[in-house]
Amino acid sequence: MSNNQKSFWTPGNVLTAFILAGGLVLTFLRFYKGIGAVTNLDDNNPWGIWIGFDLMCGVALAAGGYVTSASCYLFGLKRYHSAVRPAITTAFLGYFFVVVALMYDLGHPWRLPYPLVYSQGTTSLLFEVGLCVATYVTVLFVEWSPAALEWLGFRKIRNFVIRLTLPLTILGVVLSTMHQSSLGALFLIAPGKLHPLWYSSFLPVFFFMSSMVAGASMVIFEGTLAHKGMHDKMDETHLKEADGVAFGMAKAASFILLGYFFIKVFDITMDNDWQYLATGYGAWFLVEMFGFVALPSFLYALGVREKNLKLVRIASVFGVLGIVINRFNVSMIAFNWQLPAAERYFPSWMEVGISIFVVTLIVTTYRFIATKMPVLYEHPEYKDAH
Amino acid sequence: MDRRKFLSLLGGAGLASAMGATKVKAAGTHTFNGYPDAMGVLHDSTRCIGCRKCEQACAEVNNLPKPEVAYDDLTVLDTKRRTDAKTYTVVNKYNTAGLDHPIFRKQQCNHCQEPACASACFVKAFTKNPDGSVTYNGDLCVGCRYCMVACPFGVPTFEYDDPLDPLVQKCTMCHPRIQEGKLPGCVEKCPKEALTFGRREDLLAIARDRIRKYPERYENHIYGEKEAGGTSWLYLSAVPHTELGMPLVGKTSAPELTSGALGAVPMVVGIWPVLLAGAYGISKRKEKIAAEEQADAVREAIDKTKADADNAMKTALDKAAKDKAAAVDREVKKAVAEAQQSFDEKLAAMQAPAEAEDTDAGNSPEEEA
Amino acid sequence: MEHIFYTLHDFMLHTKSIVYILMGLALVSFVGYWLFITGRDEKIRKY
């Protein structure tokens, strides 16, 4: 890995620079002229893709952190050990940049600490989300810090933090359960606005279960990308465990998706919503259920059974897309379904630009961390990381 | 509506505070009836002529900017409007089937008994006041707009074009004015008494009375009596309310809709650590047992190997001893045989010169015994 | 507590605020209690 100017400007880095530059321009516009100048949000549609994608999908797809750390440290599945640090790094960056993305969406972003320290609206599920996410970002930061501390050589602090792994892992699962489900619970307050096929008293359960699938799928999907782009940074353990990690996550995801499919069917049964399946929204609901829940479940199952890594990887793409589609449906597509077409929301290109900007920031930061710090490999001086 | 009329109405209506008080139920066995003296407004759309004087009064009282189209321009009624950041109330025109004239209806914040906006707000920027009004504190607002998601009537609006201090905007039921004993701006200006201000309980009684007296004039439903847990702004209509653009809203209030999910949160905190510590404990125990079994197996293997080695050593030593004894035997036998042979040769050599005189070569074999 | 709650909202604001504080205390207590229970267990070797 040479460091001279010529090889720094790889196609990936050029694209990154372009996106970052554009993002800075859009940022300036947003804060100079207001939210209305860069978004298509209005009084009927107060939440758009900055909430539906950046917040909802960002949090769901960062779930790999609690899934892998619980598997390894709580359920004793040591073969996932090499997957924990990459997943925790992804999770920490994911949550951190959710807060960054919120800065764009909030009317008074500097007042974000208000609900925690100044005026606690405890009747609100958004309060719950905010409190949990704030706490969890802190937990993730501490869980992630050994990678940085090893890089910096702060042995004593690093050894102290490592001893906190068990309580932090448990706290991480508790906090994740609460806020993943509360993100779904946000929509309980608006039964008139969310299409009956998606509205349910069990929205929190649906969101929590699918977050586990999101986490497992992202571990596989990200692992695939990392293997292509950062293979030379991976140590022997990581490479040896990689396939086992993928198949293990696939096995779990497959089974959870089956359970998720069942509880969705049960929910429609209990609300007697069958007639909605024969509508346009119903058709889209079936696409989500069969194309992005049943199908990945089956692809994962087949991939594990036949030890077919490629199939598992394809399934993980469907798994990730399924989460994105579900969060989009609940927050934007099935939300406000009753409004006439002229009043529906579609994101502006500038909104999309900001979202791409934030995702690029995450990827770039991840690349920096994984290149410089012991995430994909174990630091030779700290081999006891268990 | 003037003050005299209003006060006489109040007196004449009689107090029916206990009659049909809207109850909200949740939280175990608790029920809540709202503030007993909460005020409200009854909007009778059979009386509304769509003159828009209420809109004008609202803008004046709240110092809202002048609209693009003047208030006496009634052509705006041809399109459906909604409230926005500079318009706290609008009157819309509805052409319903079976009627030869349009119906006009005023729309604004309904000042719910259990406001969804207050329930949703994570920074307590909304308050249901004892006088019935729901007011907003722009100094706390973070601008998350969840209140706009939550409101079943789509009331709150947002100043999207303000980069520095964008606030939520909505009708205040003229809270400062009613605190001073005045009427809300819109109620005061309405020339047709389509708006009546009073205690919510009294207004419900008046509304029921009107329906009872003129059943052919009114739809038998007071919109806002139970919707979303009950609202302070009540509506009477000649046709089903949904035909006048009123959303079909169930009677469950926002706090009731969310209390289940909110209640599950502390349960997770109490139960998850137990289950997860249990999982950890079980997996550690399994590891420990597996380690012990492995240690046992290793020890056994070592013992066996040692025993085997000892046996092999013993066998080898025995064999070595045997070999040594045999070798010794052999050597002894050899030495004896050699000694014997040497003795025999010496003896033969000694006797040979004596027999050389006999010259008898055939006698030597007899001496070899 | 003599305070009357007129609305479910006010009631929940009160009860939920207390429960959040108790949740924080519970999490801390779990850690302390766990350390108490496992305090004299044989240590797991950490090289």
Nearest chain C CA: its distance from A384 CA (Å): 6
Show the tokens assigned to A221: 């999907």
Q: Which residues of A touch C27 (CB under 8 A)?
A: 171, 174
Show the tokens assigned to B146: 């969840």
Which of C13, C31, C47 comes nearest A384 by C-beta? C47
Q: Rounded to two decimals, what is the model's pTM?
A: 0.87
Residue of A nearest to B114 (CA): A123
What confidence score (pLDDT) does residue B352 get? 77
Q: Is the pLDDT of residue B164 over 50?
A: yes
Q: What is the DSSP string of A274-301?
A: GGGGGSHHHHHHHIIIIIIIIHHHHHHH
Distance (Å, whole) CA B34 – CA C5: 8
Which ipTM value was assigned to this complex?
A: 0.93
Residue where the block lists tokens 């008074």? A108
Query: C27 touching A, CB under 8 A?
Result: yes
Residue A264 neighbours by CB distance under 10 Å = 21
Q: Please judge whether B144 and A106 are an interchain contact, meaning their C-beta atoms are less than 8 angstroms apart.
A: yes
Average pLDDT of the segment spanning C15-21: 95
Distance (Å, whole) CA B140 – CA B128: 16
Which of B122, B260, B280 comes nearest A124 by C-beta? B122
Show the tokens assigned to A195: 């299409």
- Fold type of domain A19-372: Formate dehydrogenase/DMSO reductase fold (1.20.1630)
Size of interface B-C (CB pairs under 8 A): 59
What confidence score (pLDDT) does residue B21 get? 43
Q: Torsions phi, psi of B196, nearest 5?
A: -125, 130
Q: Residue B345's beta-bridge partner residues?
A: none
Q: Is the pLDDT of residue B1 over 90?
A: no
Show the tokens assigned to B277: 């510590």
Q: Please give the C-alpha separations between residue B306 and each of B32, B310, B314, B321, in angstroms, as whole numbers.
A: 82, 6, 12, 22
Average pLDDT of the segment spanning B254-278: 95
What confidence score (pLDDT) does residue B18 get? 41
What confidence score (pLDDT) does residue C44 get? 60
Average pLDDT of the segment spanning B202-227: 97
- Quick check: A129 and A188 in contact, CB under 8 A? no
Q: Residue B41's beta-bridge partner residues?
A: B197, B233
What confidence score (pLDDT) does residue B17 get? 42
Distance (Å, whole) CA B257 – CA B262: 10
SS3 B345: helix
What confidence score (pLDDT) does residue B356 get? 62
Which of B35, B36, B114 comes nearest C8 by C-beta? B114
What confidence score (pLDDT) does residue B142 get? 97
Per-residue pLDDT of chain A (386 residues; tens, 9 = 90+): 445 555 788 888 999 999 999 999 999 999 999 999 999 999 999 999 999 999 999 999 999 999 999 999 999 998 899 899 999 999 999 999 999 999 999 999 999 999 999 999 999 999 999 999 999 999 999 999 999 999 999 999 999 999 889 999 999 999 999 999 999 999 999 999 999 999 999 999 999 999 999 999 999 999 999 888 888 888 888 888 889 999 999 999 999 999 999 999 999 999 999 999 999 999 999 999 999 999 999 999 999 999 999 999 999 999 999 999 999 999 999 999 999 999 999 999 999 999 999 999 999 999 999 989 988 888 888 876 54
Q: Please give the C-alpha separations between residue A63 and each of A70, A95, A145, A219, A318, in angstroms, as whole numbers.
A: 11, 10, 18, 9, 16
Nearest chain B CA: its distance from A41 CA (Å): 8
Q: Which residues of A62-78 are buried (b: 16+ CB within 10 A; e: fewer)?
A: bbbbbbbbbbbbbebbe
Chains linked to A by 3 or more Cβ pairs within 8 Å: B, C
Q: Residue B231's beta-bridge partner residues?
A: B112
Any idea what the Cα angle at residue A306 is, between residues A305 and A308, rounded to 5°?
115
- E strand or H helix at A321, and its extent? helix A309-328
Q: Please give the C-alpha separations between residue B110 and each of B106, B233, B251, in angstroms, as whole numbers.
A: 11, 5, 14
List CB contacts of B253: < 8 A, sequence separation 6 or more. Answer: B24, B112, B113, B114, B116, B119, B228, B229, B230, C8
DSSP B114: S
Residue (of B172, B171, B124, B138) closest to A108 by Cα position: B138
Average pLDDT of the segment spanning B316-333: 92
Average pLDDT of the segment spanning B73-94: 94
Q: What is the DSSP string of B230-259?
A: -BSEEEE-SS-GGGGT-----S--HHHHHH
Q: Torsions phi, psi of A255, nearest 5?
A: -70, -45
Distance (Å, whole) CA B205 – CA B209: 6
Size of interface A-B (CB pairs under 8 A): 177
Q: Is the pLDDT of residue B15 over 50?
A: no
Q: Please give the C-alpha separations between residue A128 and each of A75, A200, B143, in angstroms, as whole numbers.
A: 27, 19, 17
Residue of C nearest to A172 (CA): C27
Helices (H) and strands (E) in chain A, counts: 17, 0
Segment among A152-166, A189-203, B114-128, B215-229 with least mean pLDDT:
A152-166
List CB contacts of B141: < 8 A, sequence separation 6 or more. Answer: A107, A108, A111, B123, B125, B167, B168
What confidence score (pLDDT) does residue B209 get? 97
Q: Please judge whether B27 and C8 are an interchain contact, meaning their C-beta atoms are less than 8 angstroms apart.
A: yes
What confidence score (pLDDT) does residue B4 get? 52
Q: What is the DSSP string of B286-344?
A: HHHHHHHHHHHHHHHHHHHHHHHHHHHHHHHHHHHHHHHHHHHHHHHHHHHHHHHHHHH
Nearest chain A CA: its distance from B275 CA (Å): 10
Show the tokens assigned to B299: 């020890």
Segment among A381-385, B53-57, B91-95, B236-240 with least mean pLDDT:
A381-385
What confidence score (pLDDT) does residue A126 get? 97
Nearest chain B CA: its distance from C4 CA (Å): 10
User: If contacts are CB pairs under 8 Å, which of residues 240-269 in chain A contact chain B?
Assistant: none
Suggest the residue from B109, B136, B144 to mutate for an interface test with chain A (most A CBs closer than 10 A). B144
Q: Which residues of C touch B32 (CB under 8 A)?
A: 5-8, 11
Q: Kindly give the interhelix angle for B254-355 and A165-185, rounded to the nearest 10 degrees.
A: 150
Distance (Å, whole) CA A152 – CA A322: 39
Q: Which residues of A touch B277 (CB under 8 A)?
A: 170
Nearest chain C CA: its distance from B205 CA (Å): 21
What does the radius of gyration of chain A's CA atoms come to, in whole angstroms?
A: 21
What confidence score (pLDDT) does residue A55 get? 95
Query: C9 touching B, CB under 8 A?
Result: yes
Distance (Å, whole) CA B54 – CA B1: 12
- Quick check: A228 and A370 in contact, CB under 8 A? no
Suggest the residue from A39, A67, A73, A124 to mutate for an interface test with chain B (most B CBs closer than 10 A). A124
What confidence score (pLDDT) does residue B29 get? 76
Q: Which residues of A touch B120 (CB under 8 A)?
A: 124-126, 189
What confidence score (pLDDT) does residue A233 get? 85
Q: Please judge whether A123 and C16 are an interchain contact, meaning their C-beta atoms are less than 8 angstroms apart.
A: yes
Average pLDDT of the segment spanning B304-322: 93
In chain A, where are the structural domains located?
Answer: 19-372
Q: Torsions phi, psi of A376, nearest 5?
A: -90, -5
Average pLDDT of the segment spanning B37-45: 97
Q: Which residues of B touch A31 (CB under 8 A)?
A: 163
- E strand or H helix at C20, and its extent? helix C8-37
Residue (of B106, B154, B156) closest to B126 by Cα position: B156
Please, what is the average pLDDT of chain B? 89
In chain C, where are the structural domains located?
Answer: 8-39
